[in-house]
Amino acid sequence: TTSSSLLMSLSNPSTLRCRLNVPTKAAIQRYQQENNRENINNNMEEEEVELKLTVLVNLSNNAKDDVATIYCHATKLPPIPTPPINIEIRGTPRPNASVKDSSWVRQRTRLESLLKQAQNIQLSELVLKDNEDKLYEGSKSNFYAIQQDGTVVTAQDGVLHGTIRKLILEVCREHQIPVRLEPPSLGDVATWQGAMLSSTSLLALPIHAVYMRPPQAALEPEHAASRHPQDLLKTFNYNNNHHQDGDNTLCLTKQIQQW
């Protein structure tokens, strides 16, 4: 088991920040050096970009070893996907969702490869579902369902509480939008007025279509990938600037995105 003092140090934001300062600074500087060299070789001007930083903390299994190895990777933040944003219901909730565990990166590889194999449709994200048809989170994002009465439904337990999720919940409180902190039910999908993903790279991103393979077909390797239009469950149209008959206000999903 890992040293208890090391675990305490890594779970404390201030001491963890001190440990991360050096490797993150080095990764950013290395990215800038390589990027500037490439720009010079291609006779291009230096550009300011937002970076995506991925940090991996590798712990020793020796209880007497008070050492953690920290790796940091820096790359250009990818652009936010352009509409339509299509998602697929696939996979089961993570056993330890409150932690960004590197094992999850390996586990989701097969699921993400099936996204790319989808026929006649481009899928942006998958959302995890349990055996009771409760929807928890995306593979790299938080998930929200917007009900017809304007209630925002999103899981509280069994998910990683992202930074943007916190901001969305604050926006809902500020604008007196009712929120239910529980997993949305797939059985209610036909009644949703909208749905949304959020993460630091996606920000708040409205969903335009939901897909899911029949359970039996999903188990067969040659038929596992989703197909359009056979596996389409629900579409959302945010171009109509109303969410109730006679109401000309912008639909709630788009309002939350703009706020």
pLDDT for 252 equals 84
pTM for the predicted model, two decimal places: 0.85
Q: Do 70 and 23 contact (CB within 8 A), yes or no?
A: yes
103-138: pLDDT as tens digits = 888 888 888 888 899 999 999 999 999 999 999 999
71 has which bridge partners? 56
pLDDT for 58 equals 85
Q: How far apart are CA 99 and CA 253, in angstroms?
A: 28
Evaluated on CA atoms 190, 193, 133, 176, the torsion sign reads negative
Below-70 pLDDT ranges, the chain:
1-3, 40-46, 61-66, 218-219, 221-222, 240-250
pLDDT for 62 equals 64
Strand-strand pairing, 125-129 and 179-181: unpaired
For the chain, how far is it from start to end, CA to CA, in angstroms? 45
Question: Among 36, 27, 201, which Cα is nearest to 124's?
Answer: 201
Q: Which two tokens stand for residue 212?
A: 């899911």
pLDDT for 202 equals 93
